[in-house]
Structure 1
């Protein structure tokens, strides 16, 4: 991997950078597949409630996810901007796992893609995806608030 942020062929990064070098145009198979992934799948949270046998704990987890969204995004942004591979991977994996656990499947998928981009060393592509991550993160948080933590409904 090149420190300059360009991709190298030795690690298969050239292939990954090519995959992500052009955003999928609306109406293409790639964008349709991504758009078909639920923004928030409440069945994931219902399953978590069942597994824990305590709905309040699942609600608290969702509330915590919402409350740390801005910090999680800032960590990812700073790590990608600074080309800090270790912290960028940590932030992307945290975003992927946390999002999947609250049912934010579309954001989890995007975080998985960002993880692959970071691993490939395509820093410019990672930076270009930050606005999409921010938008999708805010949509996910808003959907969780609206559909899972309605106004006046606390995690307790």
Structure 2
């Protein structure tokens, strides 16, 4: 299930889904409409995340580290959108500081994002500095259950997977 799913659909899955793993990209409706062609994205996402969390709660793992139920939010850090990422982290922390968040740094521009001026803002991958700012902000917001891209943090001590 995506985070842009309508709550009415999610309600039909109540008691059926054990784990939700939505991708959450934009708390900014303008960026969502521009880059993801997703109007009213943030309102849909916040409603969906609340419903997912209501149904399954925080991510639970067994003694082998395998997820057995709950919510795991994935966030792809986009270039030039640190404030946007910070908005996602604040919302998720407000939902529950025990939310497990996979902070992803794998964005690479392809196709028109590389060649058209319209996409200049996202025509590169995220920088290590941008990624670190997002991780710092996530922790400041109270999130500690973070899965991090160690390659973006390799030269800085104190950043470890807190899963």
Give the TM-score of the pair, scaled to structure 2: 0.29
**Larger fraction in helix:** 1
**The structure with more radius of gyration:** 1
**Larger fraction in strand:** 2
